């Protein structure tokens, strides 16, 4: 590539952000040395590239000051309780907790792609990085002439990871989607609820997370392949298809056995058809809207549960004798068990039942997870990082432990444009005067 | 033939041999993810087969270990080897199998021990081996011996607290499809790939200790940030985001009895204009054409009235029409597809998503393909194996790679 417009930084010039602890540094982890020009935004893309940033990749998040990333706008602020829809009309882009959660360990730059000077910088950044990620609506990268063949002209070994609701081919590729739409279309909302009622679906954008994890895997596989062969690839992941892949044997029961899923006894709520299990459900516990899940699969477990309950007379009745009996009389069984659980603390009950060898779990909320779950605490699942505007905050880490591939949590999410000087100055060689001019003219 | 079908290119996993000791969707799906993309996954089963082979539903109602759809769902593209831990000869076979492998997926170290292998010793003896352990709560910590199921994983991990109905006399409702386990599988699969990359750089393997509980605990989307920042607990609401406060319903019943999901964000002027134009075209806009509705504040004041009109507007149309016409008008509307709808979806058909999967009987069935389209290589799932199908002639087939196509 040639650069005719801009002078390069003289070696002795000082360019960098004010807070030394936030300055980009060499990273550790299996992905150290991997660099990503990251166009991702919203939830699914940001979560996908977060895994790369956690494990050492230099993920450079490309933002546009004129169109703030939605998680920067969403009012999940310290000390202010607002619902998702009650958006702050004049948000501080550096205050959003969701953005902080999604973009930790990443660098942040701002650039106006509509300005030819902005585009020039981005092309150079792509050449520098060699991995490009995006989850725009189909057509955006095409409008910028940043398709895979065009990216390969910049770098033959480029990895181009595309993440969208419907994938980049087919008649509905341009359909608008976000988590709940993907869940609806893929069948993941239909299969959740009580029989005879409207679907209860999901209380979250489940597919923003699950599609993100599949996108992370696709990216890791592409990186692995390039390490083995030197060859790049485009990878196009469809969230709807990832969702269908998660439906499991209920889907096969319909497409293999022609058994309609639109039927009176489906979906089944908290009960199972396969394997036979009873009691199997969510039962009330002491307190307002507190619950415990109990799953009994084997006769021996039922005997144990009877013992734990001090063998009440109802539990010895013939109608609950075998698994088939208990399933046939599940309504009565659930009512009787609920009477036993109702006044007990959900955590005490969980430990009592688990201690006896019965599969049970308190329905935990986020306060329980963060403050009362000794397993999360012992494993260090949540960790804390400081942030210049937000202050110290908790984050959700990788849900497992590695022998050697440790995550490298070096910094909370970037302030808007925080790393412009580092990326455009130190990495791409623009001098101070050029950076000031680009900034003043709104290019970066 | 089992094994992933290679459509073009060469899979970067083609030279990878994996031994899998798994019988829940967490470990089985981990193995499936890499098997469908070309890795050679040797599924070890006890005599009689793993638990998933004994779980329905059954293909055409045949209660047979080779006809379990639960098994088919999570075990495509794998080989099956029956190994009896009580047989000295079989334990030797297992040791040979493991010696040939670069990755071990394991759910239960007790089962591994029955096959003659202590996990800690194995990690010392095989520093090059990647061991992916996926367990209910992880290998360490005060709850490490606790048991789980899909329902319990969703409950303890927090997801269940967000799912259910507006009516809170109804308990939280488990979303279908073993998603509690699936979340564990997603992280096992990513952890495995991270470990492969590390080994490529250093030559070292390692233990990847994934917890299904933690996988759920980090996947609640807004729930944890709402606690981490404003210290709010989200409340479940029917088929829409759990929030600190109740929001408007987003699920609409249509004239044909099906449902669509549509969350109208009143602050989005473009979406409002699009919806209004659509309602006007069908002569259903009523008083919403009043210029007062151009103001966001007025729309917000009148939200329940607007919501009622939208309910009626959707009730006079069928879900398919609403879905496609709404999307044509740029609105993010989703039809709540039932399973029988999916193979008929023209978009999925054009992308070739569903594949004809051969069955152990030589029949073919419709099966979901992969959500990935790589330009450098492409594979499709191969069929699930019959119990013990690859026991003989195991070694010769392995060395020639003839049992994969």
Residues of A in contact with B384 (CB under 8 A): none
What's the average model confidence in pLDDT over A141-170? 97
CB atoms within 10 A of CB A78: 16
Are B173 and B291 in the same domain? no
- Pick from A176, A220, A257: CB nearest B197: A220
pLDDT for A16 equals 40
**pLDDT of residue A83 exceeding 80:** no
Residues A38, A69, A112, A208: which is the catalytic one? A208
Active site residue A157: no
Least confident of A187-196, A304-313, B196-205, B394-403: B394-403
How far does A51 lie from chain B, in Å, by closest CA? 9
B320 touching chain A per CB within 8 A: no
- Tell if the CB–CB gap between A256 and B60 is shorter than 8 Å: yes
Selected residue of B334, B343, B364, B379 to mutate for chain A interface (largest A Cβ count, 10 A): B334
- Pick from A202, A251, A382: CB nearest B368: A251
H or E element at residue B271: helix B269-281
Q: Report the domain count for chain B.
A: 2
- Tell if the CB–CB gap between A232 and B55 is shorter than 8 Å: no
B122 touching chain A per CB within 8 A: no
Residues of B in contact with A281 (CB under 8 A): 151, 171
- Pick from A237, A370, A390: CB nearest B371: A237
Are B17 and B163 in the same domain? yes
**pLDDT of residue A4 exceeding 80:** no
Least confident of A19-23, A386-390, B137-141: A19-23
Look up the pTM and report it: 0.95
Burial of B110 (0-12, 13-18, 19+ CB in 10 A): exposed
* CB distance B35 to B4 below 8 Å: yes
- Tell if the CB–CB gap between B208 and A197 is shorter than 8 Å: no
Residues of chain A with CATH 3.40.50.10540: 35-245+381-441
User: What sign does the dihedral B362-B365-B368-B373 (CA atoms) show?
Assistant: positive
Residues of A in contact with B143 (CB under 8 A): 354, 374-375
Are B61 and B147 in the same domain? yes
With bands split at pLDDT 50, 70 and 90, how would you rate the model's confidence at A18?
low
CB atoms within 10 A of CB A66: 9
Residue B212 lies in a domain: yes
What's the average model confidence in pLDDT over B200-206? 97
B251 touching chain A per CB within 8 A: yes
Domain that holds residue B307: 259-335
B249 touching chain A per CB within 8 A: no
H or E element at residue B73: helix B69-74
Residue B366 lies in a domain: yes
- Pick from A198, A209, A233: CB nearest B219: A209
Residue B176 lies in a domain: yes
Residue B244 lies in a domain: no
Residue of chain A whose Cα is closest to the Cα of B165: A200
With bands split at pLDDT 50, 70 and 90, how would you rate the model's confidence at B395?
very low
Q: How many CA atoms lie within 13 A of A218 on its CB side?
A: 35
Beta strands in B274-392 (DSSP E): 334-335, 354-358, 364-368, 372-374, 377-380
What's the average model confidence in pLDDT over B214-236? 97
B303 touching chain A per CB within 8 A: no
Please tell me the class of the A279-363 domain: alpha beta
pLDDT for A12 equals 37
pLDDT for A5 equals 31
Residue B229 lies in a domain: no
- Tell if the CB–CB gap between B376 and A185 is shorter than 8 Å: no
Are B325 and B359 in the same domain? no
Residues of A in contact with B343 (CB under 8 A): 255
pLDDT for A85 equals 65
Residue B394 lies in a domain: no
Residues of B in contact with A360 (CB under 8 A): 152
pLDDT for A245 equals 98
With bands split at pLDDT 50, 70 and 90, how would you rate the model's confidence at B267?
confident
Q: What are phi and psi of B82, to 5 degrees?
A: -90, 125
CATH topology of domain A35-245+381-441: Rossmann fold (3.40.50)
Are B297 and B366 in the same domain? no
B379: left (phi over 0), alpha (psi -120 to 50) or beta: beta
pLDDT for A342 equals 98
- Tell if the CB–CB gap between A170 and B143 is shorter than 8 Å: no
Q: Which of A29, A401, A427, A395 is nearest to A220 (CA)?
A: A29
Least confident of A291-300, A418-427, B162-171, B293-302: B293-302
Residue B405 lies in a domain: no
- Tell if the CB–CB gap between A363 and B161 is shorter than 8 Å: yes
- Tell if the CB–CB gap between B337 and A184 is shorter than 8 Å: yes
CB atoms within 10 A of CB B404: 21
Residue of chain A whose Cα is closest to the Cα of B177: A247
What's the average model confidence in pLDDT over A312-319? 98
Are B324 and B358 in the same domain? no
Q: What is the pLDDT of residues A360-408, one digit of tens each?
A: 999 999 999 999 999 999 999 999 999 999 999 999 999 999 999 999 9
* CB distance B19 to B31 below 8 Å: no
Residue of chain A whose Cα is closest to the Cα of B250: A180
Residues of A in contact with B159 (CB under 8 A): 204, 206
What's the average model confidence in pLDDT over B168-178? 98
- Tell if the CB–CB gap between A376 and B226 is shorter than 8 Å: no
pLDDT for A84 equals 66
Are B43 and B106 in the same domain? yes
Cis, peptide link before residue A283, omega less than 30° from 0: no
Are B71 and B164 in the same domain? yes
Cβ-Cβ contacts under 8 Å between A and B: the total is: 546
Residues of chain A with CATH 3.30.1540.10: 279-363
H or E element at residue A257: helix A249-257
Give the whole-angstrom CA distance, residue A161 versus residue A134. Answer: 6
**pLDDT of residue A2 exceeding 60:** no
pLDDT for B402 equals 33
Q: What is the pLDDT of residues B274-286, one digit of tens each?
A: 999 999 999 999 9
């Amino acid at each position: 590539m040639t650069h005719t417009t801009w002078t390069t930084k003289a070696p002795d010039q000082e360019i960098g952000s004010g807070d030394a602890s936030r300055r980009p540094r060499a990273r550790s982890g299996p992905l150290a040395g991997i660099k990503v020009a990251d166009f991702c935004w919203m939830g699914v893309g940001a979560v996908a590239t977060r895994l790369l940033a956690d494990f050492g990749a230099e993920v450079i998040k490309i933002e546009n000051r004129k169109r703030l990333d939605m998680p920067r706008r969403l009012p999940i602020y310290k000390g202010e309780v607002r619902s998702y829809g009650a958006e702050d009309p004049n948000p501080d882009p550096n205050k959003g907790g969701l953005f902080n959660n999604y973009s930790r360990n990443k660098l942040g730059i701002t650039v106006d792609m509509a300005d030819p000077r902005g585009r020039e910088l981005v092309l150079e950044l792509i050449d520098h990085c060699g991995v490009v990620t995006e989850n725009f609506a189909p057509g955006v990268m095409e409008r910028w002439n940043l398709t895979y063949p065009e990216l390969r002209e910049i770098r033959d070994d480029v990895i181009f990871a595309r993440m969208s609701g419907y994938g980049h081919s087919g008649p509905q590729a341009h359909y608008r989607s976000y988590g709940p739409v993907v869940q609806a279309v893929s069948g993941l909302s239909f299969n959740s609820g009580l029989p005879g009622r409207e679907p209860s679906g999901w209380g979250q954008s489940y597919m923003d997370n699950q599609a993100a994890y599949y996108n992370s895997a696709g990216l890791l596989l592409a990186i692995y392949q390039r390490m083995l062969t030197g060859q790049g690839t485009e990878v196009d992941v469809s969230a709807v298809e990832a969702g269908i892949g998660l439906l499991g044997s209920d889907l096969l029961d319909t497409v293999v056995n022609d058994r309609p899923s639109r039927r009176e006894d489906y979906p089944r709520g908290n009960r199972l058809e396969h394997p036979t299990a009873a009691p199997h459900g969510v039962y009330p516990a002491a307190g307002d809207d507190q619950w415990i899940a109990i799953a009994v699969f084997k006769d021996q477990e039922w005997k144990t549960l009877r013992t734990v309950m001090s063998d009440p007379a109802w539990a010895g009745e013939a109608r609950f004798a075998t698994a088939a009996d208990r399933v046939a009389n599940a309504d009565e069984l659930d009512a009787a068990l609920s009477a036993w659980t109702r006044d007990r603390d959900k955590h005490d009950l969980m430990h009592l039942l688990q201690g006896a060898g019965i599969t049970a779990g308190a329905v935990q909320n986020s306060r329980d997870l963060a403050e009362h779950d000794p397993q999360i605490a012992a494993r260090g699942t949540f960790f804390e990082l400081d942030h210049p505007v937000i202050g110290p905050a908790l984050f959700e880490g990788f849900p497992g432990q590695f022998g050697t591939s440790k995550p490298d949590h070096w910094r909370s999410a970037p302030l808007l444009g925080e790393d412009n000087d580092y990326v455009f100055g130190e990495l791409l060689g623009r001098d101070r005067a050029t950076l000031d001019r680009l900034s003043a003219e709104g290019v970066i | 033939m089992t094994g992933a079908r290679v459509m073009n290119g060469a899979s970067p996993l083609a030279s990878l041999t994996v031994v899998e000791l798994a019988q829940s969707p967490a470990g089985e799906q981990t193995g499936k993810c890499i098997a469908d993309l070309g890795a050679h996954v040797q599924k070890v089963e006890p005599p009689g087969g793993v638990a998933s082979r004994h779980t329905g539903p059954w293909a055409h109602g045949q209660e047979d270990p080779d006809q379990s759809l639960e098994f088919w769902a999570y075990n495509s593209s794998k080989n099956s080897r029956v190994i009896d831990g009580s047989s000295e000869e079989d334990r030797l076979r297992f040791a040979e199998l493991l010696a040939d492998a670069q990755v071990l997926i394991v759910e239960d170290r007790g089962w591994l021990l029955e096959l003659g292998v202590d996990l800690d010793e194995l990690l010392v003896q095989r520093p090059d081996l990647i061991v992916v352990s996926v367990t209910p709560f992880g290998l360490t910590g005060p709850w490490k011996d606790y048991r789980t199921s899909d329902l319990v994983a969703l409950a303890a991990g927090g997801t269940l607290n967000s799912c259910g109905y507006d009516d809170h006399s109804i308990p939280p409702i488990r979303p279908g499809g073993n998603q509690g386990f699936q979340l564990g599988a997603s992280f096992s699969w990513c952890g495995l790939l991270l470990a492969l990359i590390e080994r490529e750089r250093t030559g070292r393997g390692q233990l990847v200790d994934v917890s299904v509980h933690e996988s759920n605990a980090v996947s609640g989307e807004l729930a944890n940030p709402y606690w981490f920042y404003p210290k709010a607990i989200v409340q479940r609401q029917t088929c829409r985001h759990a929030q600190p406060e109740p929001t408007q319903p987003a699920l609409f019943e249509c004239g044909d009895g099906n449902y669509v999901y549509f969350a109208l964000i009143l602050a989005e002027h473009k979406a409002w204009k699009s919806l209004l134009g659509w309602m006007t075209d069908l002569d259903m806009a009523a008083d919403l054409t009043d210029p007062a509705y151009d103001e966001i504040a007025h729309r917000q004041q009148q939200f329940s009235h607007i919501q009622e009109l939208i309910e009626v507007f959707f009730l006079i149309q069928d879900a398919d029409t609403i879905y496609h016409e709404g999307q044509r008008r740029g609105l993010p509307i989703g039809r709540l597809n039932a399973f029988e709808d999916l193979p008929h979806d023209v978009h999925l058909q054009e992308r070739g998503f569903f594949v004809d999967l051969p069955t152990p009987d030589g029949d073919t069935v419709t099966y979901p393909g992969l959500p990935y389209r790589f330009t450098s290589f492409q594979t499709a799932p191969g069929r699930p194996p019959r119990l013990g199908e690859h026991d003989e002639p195991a070694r010769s087939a392995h060395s020639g790679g003839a049992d994969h196509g």
